Structure 1
């Protein structure tokens, strides 16, 4: 795991790694990444009959350790059936609370991935929200961790990497979520 506190050189190296991945992205990867959260926003509105906040919350609640396609399937099914299923108990409980009308910010951990995934889907142009998942971590540290623990449950480690993405985004001239999404697309489509 990377340290929760690091030197300015380490922070600069993480930021540069994000920018290098951005710069290696093809035009198609950049287009896809820039549209990623806007597309997810439309899906959230569609599955929740126009209530984008609720749709984004259920998608985020059911996202942990699921592929995007499986995440979408579970969220769509939850709205169709009126109850969440197909995930671990905690995720199902959170999704069901959101389905019942509780605002996602009262249910999701708003300081780490799941809560910030909700924010980015609900507001694709948010000026500071960024999702640090295993791919975002691996991009920043220039190493594929595979099944190793990245320690992203630590708010300090999460914020360290989120700050690096925000710095990269300022230098690139994009919102952080788009930088994260473009680099994610480039990373998963790498040779």
Structure 2
């Protein structure tokens, strides 16, 4: 795991790696990555009958260890049936509380990935929110960790990398969530050697 206490030089190295990944993205990768949270926002609006924050909250609550396509299926099903199913108890309880009217910010861990995922979907132009998943981590540190523990459950480590994405976003001139999404696409497609399907863009399976 990377240290939670780093020098300014190390932070600059992480930030530079993010910026370089952004510049390595093709025009098409930037287009698709740049549109991703906006498309997710439209989905949240659609499945929740116009209650975007509720839709975004349920999507976030049901996102852990699910592909984006499965995440969407479970969220749609939850709103259609009036109750979430098909996930672990903690995720289902969170989703059901949100559908019952509790604000997502009172239910989700707003200091970590799930909370930030909600913010990015609810407001794709949010000036600070950024999701640090396993791929965002590997982009910043310049190393593929595979199945090794990245320690992203530690708030200090999460915030360190989130701050590096924010610094990269300021340099690039885009919101942090867009930088994360575009670099995610460039990272995955360079590694895999092929274009990703739009529904596969975001998998919170770290």
Scaled by the length of structure 1, what TM-score is found? Answer: 0.98
Q: Give runs of aligned pairs for residues 6-155 of structure 1, distance below 5 A.
A: 6-155=6-155
Counterparts of 1:17 and 1:62, CA distance in 2: 31
- Secondary structure at the counterpart of residue 56 of structure 1: helix
Backbone CA RMSD of aligned residues: 0.7
2:201 match: none
Counterpart Cα distance in 2 of 1:149 and 1:81:
36
C-alpha separation between the residues in 2 aligned to 1:167 and 1:78?
A: 37
Cα offset for 1:98? 0.5
What is the match of residue 189 of structure 1? 189
- State the aligned residue count: 191
**Superposition deviation, residue 167 in structure 1:** 0.3
- Structure 1 outlier segments of 4+, above 4 Å: none
Q: CA deviation at 1:145?
A: 1.2
Q: Classify the secondary structure of the residue corresponding to 2:130.
A: coil
Aligned partners of 1:60 and 1:188: how far apart in 2? 21
CA positional deviation for 1:63? 0.6
Deviation at 1:149, TM superposition (A): 1.2
Greater shift, 145-154 or 35-44, is seen at 145-154
Encode CA deviations 1:87-141: one digit per residue, 9 max, x unaligned. 1111111001001111100000001100010000000000111111111001101
| d(CA) in 1 for partners of 2:73, 2:187 | 24
Instruction: Quote the Cα distance in structure 2 between the aligned partners of 1:145 and 1:96.
Output: 34
Moved more, 74-83 or 52-61: 74-83
